[in-house]
Amino acid sequence: MAKSGVLGYPRIGENREWKKALEDHWAGKLDEQELDLQLTGIRLQHLRKIKESGADFIPVGDFSYYDHVLDTAVMFGIVPKRFASYQGGAVSRAIYYGMARGTKDATACEMTKWFNTNYHYIVPELEGAEPQLTENKPLLAYREAKAELGIEGRPVLLGPLTFLKLSKGYAEQGLDAWLDRLLPLYAQIVQELEREGVQWVQLDEPILVTKTDEADVQRLHKICAALTAAAPGLKLLLQTYFESAEAYSALIELPVHGIGLDFVHGLEGNLAAVREYGFPADKVLGAGVIDGRGIWKAALLDKKALLDELSAFVQPEQLIAQTSCSLLHVPVSLQKETGLAPELHAALAFADEKLAELALLTRALGGDGETDAELAAYDEAVQALNRSASRSRQDIRTAAAAIAAQEPQRNKPFAERNAIQRAKWQLPLFPTTTIGSFPQSAEVRKARQLWRRGEWNAEQYNGFIREQIDRWVQIQEEIGIDVLVHGEFERTDMVEFFGEKLAGFVFTKNGWVQSYGSRCVKPPIIYGDVAFEGPMTVEETRYAQSLTQRPVKGMLTGPITIMNWSFVREDISREQIAYQLAYALRQEVEALEAAGIGMIQVDEPAVREGLPLKASKQANYLEWAVRAFRLATCTVRDETQIHTHMCYCEFHDMIDSIDAMDADVISIETSRSHGELIGSFEVNTYGKGIGLGVYDIHSPRVPELNEMTGMIDRALAALAPELFWINPDCGLKTRGYQETVASLQRMVEAAHLAREKYKQVLV
Q: How far is the CB of 435 from Zn ion (least distance, A)?
A: 6
DSSP of 722-736? GGEEB--SS--TTS-
Instruction: Judge residue 444's burial from the number of C-beta atoms within 10 Å of its C-beta, 0-12 exposed, 13-18 middle, 19 or more buried.
Output: buried
Q: Site size for ligand GLN, by CB under 6 A?
A: 13
Question: Which residue in 46, 345, 698, 752 is the catalytic one?
Answer: 698
Strand 689-692 relative to strand 724-725: parallel, antiparallel, unpaired? parallel
Containing 155, the helix (H) or strand (E) segment is strand 154-158
Closer CB to Zn ion, residue 589 or residue 668?
Answer: 668
Which entry of ligand GLN, Zn ion, none binds 436, CB below 5 to 8 A by partner kind?
A: ligand GLN
Residues of the binding site for Zn(2+): 645, 647, 669, 730
Positions in 635-674 near ligand GLN (CB under 6 A): 645, 647
Nearer to ligand GLN, 198 or 730 (CB): 730
Strand 553-557, strand 599-603: pairing: parallel
Phi/psi-derived region of residue 447, left when phi > 0, alpha when psi is between -120 and 50, beta in every other case:
alpha
Shortest Cβ 188–ligand GLN spacing (Å): 41
698 catalytically annotated: yes
Contact between 198 and Zn ion by CB under 5 A: the answer reads no
Q: Does 435 bind ligand GLN (CB under 6 A)?
A: yes
Helix H, strand E, coil C: the string for 672-693 is HHCCHHHHHHHHCCCCCEEEEC
Helix 93-101 / helix 17-26 crossing angle, nearest 10 deg: 100
Evaluate whether 334 touches 349 at the Cβ level (below 8 Å). Answer: yes
Binding-site annotation: residue ranges for L-homocysteine? 435-437, 488, 603
647-706 residues in contact with Zn ion (CB under 5 A) are: 647
Beta strands in 552-629 (DSSP E): 553-557, 567-568, 599-603
Alpha-helical segments (H) within 365-490:
372-386, 394-405, 414-425, 442-452, 458-479
Quick one: residue 223, left, alpha or beta (phi over 0 = left, psi -120 to 50 = alpha)?
alpha
Residue 437's binding partner among Zn ion, ligand GLN, none (Cβ under 5 to 8 angstroms by kind) is: ligand GLN
CA distance 191 to 172: 29
Which among 400-408, 466-474, 609-617, 725-733 is the span making contact with ligand GLN, rule CB under 6 A? Answer: 725-733
Residue 711, amino acid: M
Q: How many CB atoms lie within 10 A of CB 102?
A: 18
Q: What is d(CA 310, CA 270) in angstroms, rounded to the nearest whole number?
A: 11
Give min distance, CB of 182 to ligand GLN, in A.
34
Q: Which stretch binds ligand GLN (CB under 6 A): 17-25, 122-130, 455-463, 728-736?
A: 728-736
Q: CB under 5 to 8 A by kind: which of Zn ion, ligand GLN, none does 481 bind?
A: none
Of residues 5 and 436, the one with the C-beta less far from ligand GLN: 436
CB 326 within 8 A of CB 9: yes
Stretch that binds ligand GLN, among 435-443, 444-452, 589-597, 715-723 (CB under 6 A): 435-443
Write down how long the chain is: 763
Q: Which of 319, 719, 731, 743 binds ligand GLN (CB under 6 A)?
A: 731
Q: Which is nearer to Zn ion, 508 or 667 (CB)?
A: 667
- Rounded to whole angstroms, how far apart are CA atoms 666 and 670? 12
Q: Is 603 in the site for ligand GLN (CB under 6 A)?
A: yes
Contact between 605 and ligand GLN per CB under 6 A: yes
| 385 CB-near residues (< 8 Å, 6+ apart) | 343, 344, 346, 347, 391, 527
228 close to 263: Cβ distance less than 8 angstroms: no
Going from the C-alpha of 609 to that of each of 107, 114, 311, 508, 521, the distances in angstroms are 24, 9, 34, 23, 15
User: Should residue 494 be labelled a site residue for ligand GLN when binding is judged by CB under 6 A?
Assistant: yes
CB of 619 to ligand GLN, least distance (A): 25
Pattern 726-755, binding to Zn ion, x per CB under 5 A? ----x-------------------------
The amino acid at residue 218 is Q
Q: Angle at which helices 32-53 and 351-364 pack, to 10 degrees?
A: 30
Pick the piece of the chain touching ligand GLN (CB under 6 A) from 111-119, 268-276, 434-442, 513-521: 434-442
Which 531-570 positions form the footprint of ligand GLN (CB under 6 A)?
A: 555
Binding residues for L-methionine: 435-437, 488, 603
Pairwise CA distance, residues 111 & 609, whole Å: 13
517 binds, among Zn ion, ligand GLN, none (CB under 5 to 8 A by kind): none
What span, in angstroms and rounded, lies between the C-alpha atoms of 694 and 28? Answer: 30
Q: Are 481 and 510 in contact (CB under 8 A)?
A: no
Instruction: Enter the DSSP assignment of 552.
Output: B
By beta-carbon proximity to Zn ion, the closer residue of 314 and 726 is: 726
| Closest distance to ligand GLN from the beta carbon of 734 (Å) | 9
- Contact segment (CB under 6 A) with ligand GLN among 127-135, 317-325, 656-664, 730-738 equals 730-738
Query: Which CB, 25 or 645, lies closer to ligand GLN?
Result: 645
Task: Pick from 77, 436, 517, 728 the residue near ligand GLN by CB under 6 A.
Answer: 436
Q: Say which entry of ligand GLN, Zn ion, none residue 318 contacts (CB below 5 to 8 A, set by partner kind).
A: none
| The binder of ligand GLN chosen from 733, 743, 750, 751 (CB under 6 A) | 733
Q: Does 728 bind ligand GLN (CB under 6 A)?
A: no
* Interatomic CA distance for residues 536 and 228, integer angstroms: 59
| 703 touches, from ligand GLN, Zn ion, none (C-beta below 5 to 8 Å by class) | none
113 Cβ neighbours under 8 A, 6+ residues apart:
119, 120, 121, 608, 609, 648, 649
Nearest alpha carbon to residue 99 among 131, 132, 121: 121
Q: Which stretch binds ligand GLN (CB under 6 A): 251-259, 431-439, 541-549, 615-623?
A: 431-439
Q: In the complex, what is the shortest distance from the CB of residue 436 to Zn ion, in angstroms, rounded to a whole number?
A: 8
Q: Which amino acid is present at 757?
A: K
- Binding residues for 5-methyltetrahydropteroyltri-L-glutamate, by number, are 16-19, 113, 118, 519-520, 565, 609
7/647 with CB nearer Zn ion: 647
Q: Which stretch binds Zn ion (CB under 5 A): 358-366, 448-456, 550-558, 602-610?
A: 602-610
**Could you tell me the smallest distance in angstroms from the CB atom of residue 605 to Zn ion?**
5
User: Looking at this protein, which amino acid is placed at residue 256?
Assistant: V
Q: Which does 666 bind (CB under 5 to 8 A by kind): ligand GLN, Zn ion, none?
A: none
The C-alpha atoms of residue 236 and residue 256 are separated, in whole angstroms, by 5
Q: How far is the CB of 477 from ligand GLN (least distance, A)?
A: 19
In terms of Cα–Cα distance, which of 180, 89, 169, 192 is closest to 133? 89
Contact 76, 182 (CB under 8 A): yes
> Of the ranges 24-32, 385-393, 729-737, 749-757, which one interacts with ligand GLN (CB under 6 A)?
729-737
Q: Is 269 in the site for ligand GLN (CB under 6 A)?
A: no
CB of 113 to ligand GLN, least distance (A): 13
C-alpha dihedral sign at 80, 86, 91, 97 = negative
Q: Footprint of ligand GLN on residues 385-404 (CB under 6 A)?
A: none
Choice between 101 and 698, CB closer to Zn ion? 698
Tell me the residue nearest to ligand GLN as measured from the CB. 731
Q: Give the C-alpha separation, 81 to 76, whole Å.
A: 14
Residue 697 engages ligand GLN in binding (rule: CB under 6 A):
no
- By CB under 5 A, name the binding residues for Zn ion: 605, 647, 730
- By CB under 6 A, name the binding residues for ligand GLN: 435-437, 488, 494, 555, 603, 605, 645, 647, 730-731, 733
Report the catalytic residues: 698
